[in-house]
Amino acid sequence: MNILVVNAGSSSLKYQLIDTDTDTLYAKGICERIGMDGSLIEHKQIAKGLKVKKESPMKDHADAMKLVVDHLTDPEVGCISGMDEIQAIGHRVVHGGAYFSESILMTEDVLKKIELCRDFAPLHTDAHLMGIRGCLEIMPGKPQALVFDTAFHQTMKPESYVYPLPYEYYEKYGIRRYGMHGTSHRYVSGQMAALLNKPVEDTKIVTCHIGNGSSITAVKSGKVVDTSMGFTPLAGVEMGTRCGDIDPAIIPYLMERENLSPAEINNVMNKKSGFLGVTGFSSDSRDLEDAIAAGPSDPNYERALLAYGILRNELKKYIGSYAALMNGLDAVVFTAGIGENSIMLRQMVCEDMEWMGIELDEEANKKAFRTSDSTKISKDSSKVTVYVIPTNEELVIAKDTAALVAAK
Ligand code: ADP
């Protein structure tokens, strides 16, 4: 089945056309600056190795969808002869609140529930709704499925998702842990479970999705027990520009001292913290690694090492605490931009973990870089298996969509 996977942001729209019978990616691309001057589309036709990038006016997401379909069906850069070769559309949706524990076909009722989650992720939710409506306008009648970043985490028990605040806030506002990156955690934990060669019911896995945004998840018997992100994607470990977990008392303290409004302190924690905040020079792990590799003579060395040291300690603590929570650990998985590519960070995290059965194979770790294959990076003698598994959220979205359409 040919599925068009759509990831709509407020001014961008990423897409992939995937054949779910053969897991083939036909085309992918991005529309940027939607609703602004200078909007452009970048489109790649995979089989022919073609790439086009051109400016084209797009006043809204419907215009962007029209342009996507034009490119997919273009005789030169396209890969299908007409819109009828797209069987359905699958959307990435960031927040499904407590309403959705699995992917679902779009209906008016479903859209109403998504609107109820708007407060939890206003920018993302508005963008997704625009993407869905854009598809409705350009491809009316085509089935649309929604795949939620929060869904996989819905198996958590209340003791993992209720915060120790007055209970009425949970009841009144839905303040609880939801977790993010669920589609990625689901994909890599599923791949890992299959590699472990034992029944899923017996598996205990910690998945580390480390990119610009990062989250760590404990997956026992194929179900999420706990995850590091919380009510919002600000929680958990240090990220590119986000602080992750800090003493909550720092927030009112800084608001008073620096005379910051709620929006301003939110901006500090989301956009000016993490690697960027600690180093003062970059949110990109590659820049940090360059500074660390350059050594103490580099002016950025110490802060880069500090920023990486903070993340290393946090990751060790999550792995250790999740092993305690699951009463054991079979495997640790690294994924996403940093998890898949940072030889240095993986080495730092897995160092001195022999006590809990993690023995890194340094040579294998060095080879796991920009690869599309799952790579084992622990020694054969390691009690806990460690893998680098490239994530593929789009494939999960396409497959869920195909399954929902087939079952209709
Ligand atoms: P997002 O959360 O935006 O999806 P990604 O998963 O794409 O983020 O991860 C982005 C991060 O991955 C950046 O910090 C980037 O520096 C890092 N990254 C990408 N390639 C490499 C690499 N070769 N070595 C180290 N870090 C890398």
**Tell me: the pLDDT tens digits for 284-342?**
999 999 999 999 999 999 999 999 999 999 999 999 999 999 999 999 999 999 999 99
Is 295 within the bounds of a domain? yes
Give the number of the atom of ligand 1 that is nearest the alpha carbon of residue 209: 6
Is 78 within the bounds of a domain? yes
Give the number of the atom of ligand 1 that is nearest the alpha carbon of residue 283: 14
The phi and psi torsions of 200 (rounded to 5 degrees) equal -50, -35
State the pTM of this model.
Answer: 0.95
Is 237 within the bounds of a domain? yes
Distance 83 CA to ligand 1 centre (A): 34
| pLDDT tens-place string over residues 34-59 | 999 999 999 999 999 999 999 999 99
Do 246 and 100 fall within a single domain?
A: no
Q: pLDDT band for 71, please (50, 70, 90 cuts).
A: very high
Do 222 and 83 fall within a single domain?
A: no
Say which of 19, 63, 149, 400 is annotated catalytic.
149
The continuous run of DSSP H or E covering 279 comes out as helix 274-279
Range of the domain at 52: 2-148
Distance 335 CA to ligand 1 centre (A): 10
What's the total number of domains in the chain?
Answer: 2
Domain harbouring 271, CATH code: 3.30.420.40
Q: Is 277 in the pocket of ligand 1 (CB under 6 A)?
A: no
Give the CA count within 13 Å in the CB-facing half-sphere of 128: 28
Q: Is 203 in the pocket of ligand 1 (CB under 6 A)?
A: no
Give the number of the atom of ligand 1 that is nearest the alpha carbon of residue 275: 14
DSSP 219: E
Contact 220, 203 (CB under 8 A): yes
Distance 210 CA to ligand 1 centre (A): 8
Boundary (domain end) residue, out of 131, 148, 165: 148
Is 202 an active-site residue?
A: no
Give the number of the atom of ligand 1 that is nearest the alpha carbon of residue 345: 25
Do 82 and 207 fall within a single domain?
A: no
Boundary (domain end) residue, out of 80, 115, 148: 148
Is 168 within the bounds of a domain? no
Give the number of the atom of ligand 1 that is nearest the alpha carbon of residue 344: 25
Distance 211 CA to ligand 1 centre (A): 5
Is 402 within the bounds of a domain? no
Is 72 within the bounds of a domain? yes
> In 3-state terms, what secondary structure has residue 33?
coil
Least confident interval from 13-17, 22-26, 122-126, 143-147: 122-126
Give the number of the atom of ligand 1 that is nearest the alpha carbon of residue 213: 2
| pLDDT tens-place string over residues 172-184 | 999 999 999 999 9
Contact 335, 391 (CB under 8 A): yes
Q: Is 9 in the pocket of ligand 1 (CB under 6 A)?
A: no
Among residues 48, 6, 47, the alpha carbon closest in space to that of 29 is found at 6
Q: Is 286 in the pocket of ligand 1 (CB under 6 A)?
A: yes
Distance 41 CA to ligand 1 centre (A): 22
> What tokens does 200 get?
């899923």
Do 22 and 92 fall within a single domain?
A: yes
Do 300 and 360 fall within a single domain?
A: yes
Do 204 and 287 fall within a single domain?
A: yes
Distance 340 CA to ligand 1 centre (A): 8
Mutate to test the pocket of ligand 1, among 234, 239, 341 (most ligand atoms within 8 A of CB): 341
CA separation, residue 95 to residues 197, 292, 358, 382 (Å): 33, 36, 34, 37
Q: Is 240 in the pocket of ligand 1 (CB under 6 A)?
A: yes
- Mention every residue, 6+ apart, whose C-beta is less than 8 A from residue 294: 300, 301
Rounded mean pLDDT of the chain?
A: 97
Is 179 within the bounds of a domain? no
The phi and psi torsions of 188 (rounded to 5 degrees) equal -70, -30
Checking if the pLDDT of 169 tops 90, the result is yes
Q: Is 189 in the pocket of ligand 1 (CB under 6 A)?
A: no
Contact 365, 377 (CB under 8 A): yes
Q: Is 229 in the pocket of ligand 1 (CB under 6 A)?
A: no
| pLDDT tens-place string over residues 251-290 | 999 999 999 999 999 999 999 999 999 999 999 999 999 9
Q: Is 293 in the pocket of ligand 1 (CB under 6 A)?
A: no
Do 203 and 344 fall within a single domain?
A: yes
Checking if the pLDDT of 212 tops 90, the result is yes
Do 212 and 142 fall within a single domain?
A: no
The residue behind tokens 């005379």 is 259
Do 283 and 381 fall within a single domain?
A: yes
Q: pLDDT band for 10, please (50, 70, 90 cuts).
A: confident
Do 287 and 387 fall within a single domain?
A: yes
Identify any residues that bridge with 51 across adjacent strands, giving them in sequence order. 44
- Mention every residue, 6+ apart, whose C-beta is less than 8 A from residue 343: 365, 366, 368, 369
Q: Is 337 in the pocket of ligand 1 (CB under 6 A)?
A: yes
> In 3-state terms, what secondary structure has residue 101?
coil
> In 3-state terms, what secondary structure has residue 346?
helix
> What tokens does 340 get?
């898949």
Do 298 and 364 fall within a single domain?
A: yes
Boundary (domain end) residue, out of 89, 116, 148: 148
Q: Is 342 in the pocket of ligand 1 (CB under 6 A)?
A: yes
Do 54 and 202 fall within a single domain?
A: no
Is 158 within the bounds of a domain? no
Among residues 178, 170, 2, the alpha carbon closest in space to that of 79 is found at 2
Whole-number pLDDT of residue 119: 87
Contact 402, 3 (CB under 8 A): yes
| pLDDT tens-place string over residues 93-137 | 999 999 999 999 999 999 999 999 998 888 889 999 999 999 999
Distance 280 CA to ligand 1 centre (A): 18
